């Protein structure tokens, strides 16, 4: 099979044409990959920031992917050959611990796979496995957003926009902060109640929850300062490894600060239902399989908005 391999920190992804095909063991599936999303966290693998999470190199990256079941191992009962599935992007799964979705075939554990509802396209299913699922978990699992919640979103990119749209579909009031003019325009178009450049500008809006999908130090401290008394700040973004904030803001106003990472297969299944119902969709630009390496060069330059997704057919 063909696949894009990580070979070492500071090295570009390398396309290999002679990787051995995987074979399923008990409780496992082999997926013919149809689409794979390019994720910003992969850049952190390439530059060494998060490379400690990876399995031994060389390893095929790509933890956002969807495809068709090609083979099933012993004991698999929930899936059959030909089923369309999206794969939950766990840190101990494909694309991180073992070879992932930047290959034409992928080995997955059956409990990581979720059936894709009819009508959901490959290019929407792939980013749902990480961007959508991570945003869903932050909004509903950790943020506990419900109808009427006044929610602030910091960073209106791939994750933030999906989180905002899901929250809005559930009846939350959404406020957005982003330094990008293009992102602010998108948030306005999507119906955000208020759109600003700096989250501190939302300090008077009595926000119940603020979710920081950026993580640029100032965004974390700004969210803590802007949320209402006894409000909740959920940290998702990891752009900076350390942050500094005013402890008085946290303590005297009894602000709750929570971390949120990844999600569950239940989160993924819910995201796919949101997509099927037309409540959300990722802003996607499609690439070919052979353009995956070039796609990461574009991401380094910031030459994209939303999600880049490689279609394999």
Per-residue pLDDT of the chain (313 residues; tens, 9 = 90+): 999 999 999 999 999 999 999 999 999 999 999 999 998 889 989 999 889 999 999 999 999 999 999 999 999 999 999 999 999 978 899 999 999 999 999 999 999 999 999 999 999 999 999 989 999 999 999 999 999 999 999 999 889 999 999 999 999 999 999 999 999 999 999 999 999 999 999 999 999 999 999 999 999 999 999 999 999 999 999 888 899 999 999 999 999 999 998 899 999 999 999 999 999 998 899 999 999 999 999 988 888 777 899 999 7
C-alpha 115/C-alpha 95 separation (Å) is 20
Architecture of domain 3-127+263-311: Alpha-Beta Complex (3.90)
Residue 186 is predicted with a pLDDT of 93
pLDDT of residue 262: 87
The architecture that CATH gives domain 144-259 is 3-Layer(aba) Sandwich (3.40)
pLDDT at 187: 96
Residue ranges covered by each domain of the chain: 3-127+263-311, 144-259
The pLDDT of residue 158 is 83
């Amino acid at each position: 099979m063909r696949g894009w391999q990580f070979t070492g920190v500071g090295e570009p992804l390398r396309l290999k044409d002679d990787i051995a095909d995987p074979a399923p063991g008990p409780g496992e599936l082999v997926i013919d990959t149809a689409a794979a999303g390019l994720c910003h966290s992969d850049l952190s693998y390439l530059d060494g920031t998060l490379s400690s999470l990876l399995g031994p190199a060389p390893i095929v990256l790509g933890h956002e992917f969807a495809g068709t079941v090609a083979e099933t191992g012993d004991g698999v009962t929930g899936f059959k050959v030909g089923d369309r599935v999206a794969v939950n992007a766990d840190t101990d799964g494909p694309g991180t611990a073992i070879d992932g979705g930047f290959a034409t075939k992928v080995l997955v554990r059956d409990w990581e796979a979720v059936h894709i509802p009819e009508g959901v396209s490959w290019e929407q299913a792939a980013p749902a496995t990480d961007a959508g699922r991570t945003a869903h978990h932050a909004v509903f699992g950790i943020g506990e957003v419900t109808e009427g919640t006044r929610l602030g979103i910091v960073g209106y990119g791939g994750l933030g926009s999906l989180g905002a749209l899901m929250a809005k579909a559930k009846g939350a009031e959404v406020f957005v902060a982003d330094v990008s003019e293009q992102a602010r325009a998108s948030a306005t178009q999507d119906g955000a109640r208020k759109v600003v450049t700096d989250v501190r500008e939302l300090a008077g809006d009595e926000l119940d929850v603020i979710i920081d999908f950026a993580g640029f130090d100032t965004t974390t401290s700004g969210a803590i300062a802007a949320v209402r008394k006894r409000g909740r700040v959920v940290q998702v973004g990891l752009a900076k490894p350390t942050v500094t904030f005013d402890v008085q803001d946290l303590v005297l106003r009894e602000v709750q600060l929570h971390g949120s990472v990844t999600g569950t297969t239940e989160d993924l299944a819910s995201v796919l239902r949101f997509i099927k119902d037309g409540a959300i969709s990722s802003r996607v630009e499609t690439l070919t399989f052979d353009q995956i390496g070039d796609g990461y060069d574009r991401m380094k330059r910031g030459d994209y908005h939303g999600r880049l997704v490689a279609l394999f057919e």
